[in-house]
Structure 1
């Protein structure tokens, strides 16, 4: 079940049903498997519980490093970077996402590279670097198309490209 109802067209943040997310968080409880940890990190993040999400995301990276695959580790690092982004640590998030995108692209893991680039684009977007944001979103779109992404993923990326274009055009008019 997807807890994402859509994306805010201005902030690009996930729109979720907070009650359903809180119920799922209670349902997962204190499970320690990597998938459960990653889901808890994301749920805490979208519920705005960023301190708890940060602590758990750091734990999920350690677990992935010790017991997961390289793909698992990349996913955990990308999620950790997205928490840093939500906390306003743009430089740290950008650096981590860049590293993850390069590694995933080098391995030919297009879906994971697209995931990292989509998130890095959001960091640039929130930093008001709309040209870099758009470039990352376009690359994410290409990689998602190549990897056979779902319509929902493609739509989210197209929404992000459109938002970056609108914000860039607005910034040019304002100057």
Structure 2
């Protein structure tokens, strides 16, 4: 089940049904599997529970580091970086997403690299650095196409590219 109903065209944030997300959080309870932890991190982030999202994201990174494959650790670190972004810790988020994206790309994991670069683009977007945001979104689009990503992912990336171009054009006119 997808909790995402769309994306805000100005902020690029997910639009979700908060009640539905909170119901799912209740269902997950205190499950400790990596999949449950990652889902809890995302649900906590999109419902605005950023302090708890940070704690659970750090826990997911530890769990993945201790017992999971390298791909799971990268996914956990990318999700942790998105929580840092939501908390406006942009430099830390960029550093983590850059490391994850480069490692995933080096391993040939195009979908995971695209995930990292899409989110790094969102960090740049939040920082009003629309040139770097657009570059990362375009890189994510290329990697997603290479990986055969579903249409919804390609569409969200195209929406992000369009938003960065509009904002970049608007900021150039304003200066």
> TM tier, shorter chain?
over 0.9
Report the counterpart of residue 15 of structure 1 in structure 2.
15
Q: Once superposed, which parts of structure 1, at least 4 consecutive aligned residues long, lie more than 3 Å away?
A: none
Partner of 1:62: 62
Query: Counterparts of 1:150 and 1:49 in 2: how far apart (Å)?
Result: 29
Query: How far, CA to CA, are the matches of 1:23 and 1:150 in structure 2?
Result: 27
Match of 2:148 in 1: 148
Give me the whole-angstrom Cα distance separating, in 2, the residues matched to 1:128 and 1:30. Answer: 37
Hey, what does 1:128 align to over in structure 2? 128
Q: Secondary structure at the match of 1:6?
A: strand
Secondary structure in 1 matching 2:32: coil
| Cross-structure match for 1:158 | 158
Unaligned 5+ segments in structure 1 are none
Aligned to 2:139: 139
The alpha-carbon deviation at position 126 of structure 1 amounts to 0.5
Q: How many residues align?
A: 175
Q: Structure 2, unaligned stretches of length 5 or more?
A: none
TM-score, normalised on structure 1?
A: 1.00
RMSD: 0.3
1:71 pairs with 2:71? yes
Shift of 1:97: 0.1
Compute the TM-score of the two structures, normalised by the length of structure 2: 1.00
